[in-house]
Every structure is written in C-alpha cells, then in structure tokens.
Structure 1
C-alpha cells in the first residue's frame, strides 16, 4: 500500500481490483466502461488515474457505494488491507443497508435446480402426451 501518488500512476480499474470491489481486473474495467463507476460524478475510462481524496460512486447490481479514496495501491492484498484504501460515506452505508433489508424482506421464489424428481418427470411426460393427442 502506497500513499504517495507522485511516484506512480494508479489506474482506476487496478485500484478497484486492489480494493476488492471486483474479483478480477477485467470485471473492474468492464464496470468502468459500462458507466457503473464514476469518479467525482463524471464517467471515466478504465485507464483514468485515481488520486487520494477522489470520490467514487460504484454500482454493483442493485447496491451503490459512495466512497472516498484514502490510499492508493495496485496490488490486491487481504480484506483488512483493502478496507484501508477507502472510506464509505455514512449516507451510502445507510442507503445500502436499507436496500439490503428491503431485498431480504421480499419473498424469494423457490427455484429447484437439477434433475426433476420421478414424480415431476411423470407429470411432464403426462403433460407432453396430453398435448400431443390434440
């Protein structure tokens, strides 16, 4: 982790990867390209340099983060090291927590995956044979 930005330039996609917002650098670059990341309320390209004090708005799915850059790094470290690179605003935390609470309160659809059971397979076969008779 390095806090002196005059020595080296830090690309926004590399920084997002190092701060553990995205699992890969290519996913971070894709998010920046698609406009899901803005730097100081402006849309940027993945090669844009980031500096200490910049404000980033990051949308991942339905969750939005508004963070301030505290330190710079190009290398992905542990989660505690990554959390020292930024500070999320209090307003962003409350909005994100309320969004998560609303999503958890919604009823979830019961999706079954995998092969159908013997009973379900028989129902499917019966449905298909009834349809073919007409």
Structure 2
C-alpha cells in the first residue's frame, strides 16, 4: 500500500481511539502533514511527518509504513517513528494545606491561611 487517508491512518496506528476522533482533530485544525494543515481525506505516504494534537497531547511522528486496517499495538508502533519530544519535567511543588486524617473540617481561620498559601501573589 502506498498511501492512505489521514484519519484512517491515525486510527489504524492507534494515535486516535476512533476514526471519528481522528477526523474531528483534522477538521479542527489539530493535524498537520509536512507542516501543512490537513483534512481527514489527505493522503499520507511513507516519509511524511505528521503532527497531531489528539486528546490534549501533541504527537510528532514520521510515517514508516502505510496501513488502513487497525492492528495490534506492537504492529502499529512499527508503522511510525515517534519524534515527539519528551514531556517537560513536572515542577516539584511543595504540598500546602495537607491536613492530618481525622482532624475534621478546617476552621474559617485555617481555611483562610490555606488559601493565602495557595494564592500566587
């Protein structure tokens, strides 16, 4: 197979849970092929770079193999090369306003103190 529809390819390599989710991401402008906005019917070929924002996560992949039938996860991962940068490390935020279990509901004074610790200013 030399080419396939973009929405079907995204679904078949398991970047989207359903084909309609893949098509909705394309229609919403969240998918680009070779840095160009893509519609669901855009064809993908081996070597194309696909940037897809699906389920609040941006994935950057290169098409290694074109398939249009959904396959198992190990086979699906062999169909693309994942170039997605690793997520930034989560900031180590100190834990504020942790109460001991069983101490009951905070008083008004304690709640205001907790809110003062949480506020950014």
Same-fold call, TM cutoff 0.5? yes
Kindly tell me: are residues 106 and 38 of structure 1, through their superposed partners in 2, closer, same or farther at Cα, counting changes over 3 Å? farther
For 2:66 and 2:53, the matched residues in 1 are separated by: 20
Q: TM-score, normalised by structure 1?
A: 0.64
4+ residue runs over 6 A deviation: none
SS across alignment from 1:65: strand
Q: What's the Cα RMSD here?
A: 2.3
For 1:106 and 1:27, the matched residues in 2 are separated by: 34
SS across alignment from 1:93: coil
Deviations 1:60-87 (A, max 9, x none): 2442111100001001111001101101
Unaligned runs of 5+ in 2: 95-121
For 1:52 and 1:15, the matched residues in 2 are separated by: 11
Correspondence for 2:73 among 55, 69, 79 = 79
- Larger helix proportion, structure 1 or 2? 1
- Larger strand proportion, structure 1 or 2? 2
Give the structure 2 partner of residue 102 of structure 1: 90
Alignment of 1:114-129 (within 5 A): none
Aligned residues: 97
Q: TM-score, normalised by structure 2?
A: 0.70
